[in-house]
Amino acid sequence: MEKELPKIDLPEEWVIGTDISKELLGLYTNYPVRLKCEIFVLCMGGQAEASVNLNHVTVRENDVITLTPGTIFQIHGLEGDLKIYFLGFSSQYMGHSDQTRSMLETILFTLGRPVISLRPEGARMLEEYLCFLINLYERLPEKMRPEITPNLFADIHKGISILYKSRSDGKLSVTKGEQLCRSFTQLVLLHYGKIRNVSWYAEKLGITHAYLCSTVKQVMGRTCGDIISDMVIMDAKSQLKSTHLSIQDISDSLHFANMSFFGKYFKRYVGMSPLEYRNKG
């Protein structure tokens, strides 16, 4: 592998590599991790079971998976001889990029369906393109790499959008209920750290509390409260295991009224206190 994937972010504006090992991915099996960066992955061998935000996914040969900024993910199982390519953009670059529109379009397309399957010939073409970028990355002087980042960023996002629009199942549109659920989930991803009131989300979406709850339950098979609490708990777990922040700081970051309330909320869903979870092997 050319470069290891950092837990949270990438060390350069863009990084590309291949042959991510089971040992490396195994680092992400113990607890969920939140990404600040954005990563695109092509699987050309082996299989991985993972959680991406609220979705349980299986990544197989010829699959592409998109991990957008803010994604919380965890590996559950690995099989076979893995052959994985990745291309990522750092949070520092995206924070100063003027191409927000293309990134938001990608987030919209991938929301709720982070994995798409390509035909073998399409996967091989993408593999050839990534191999070209790997060679380019290795041969470019480090100080010159940022010069191509804007064009690369735009091209990758446009390509991903096209892939999702022309995915093999031919489903180019979603139902009204599915679109509502995607809009709700997108709002939750943006605001769960501060707002856990379902009525607030309904108001932002311009619908009634009852209609939002019934639609989300019908389409996703889960309640609005479940989706919000899952994101809060995944974020809390990630901070407890992957940072040295105090429990008070974590409670504050998630805008709980006080540490006691945070502890009760966490224990209700996890079955143990935040400190017990942090100290658990």
- Looking at CATH, the fold of the domain delimited by 176-279 is given as Arc Repressor Mutant, subunit A (1.10.10)
Angular region, 62: left φ>0, alpha ψ -120 to 50, beta rest: left
Taking CA atoms, 161 is separated from 42, 56, 108, 165, in Å, by: 15, 22, 9, 6
- Phi/psi of residue 153, each to 5°? -60, -45
**Residue 268 to residue 33: CA distance in whole angstroms:** 21
- What is the distance between the alpha carbons of residues 250 and 243, in angstroms, rounded to a whole number? 10
**Domain locations in the chain?**
14-165, 176-279
pTM of the model: 0.67
Query: Domain 14-165, what architecture?
Result: Sandwich (2.60)
Q: What is the pLDDT of residue 3?
A: 45
Instruction: For 154-169, write each residue's pLDDT tens digit.
Output: 899 888 888 877 764 4
C-alpha distances (whole Å) from 230 to each of 67, 126, 235 are: 18, 34, 9
207-221 pLDDT, tens per residue? 999 999 999 988 877
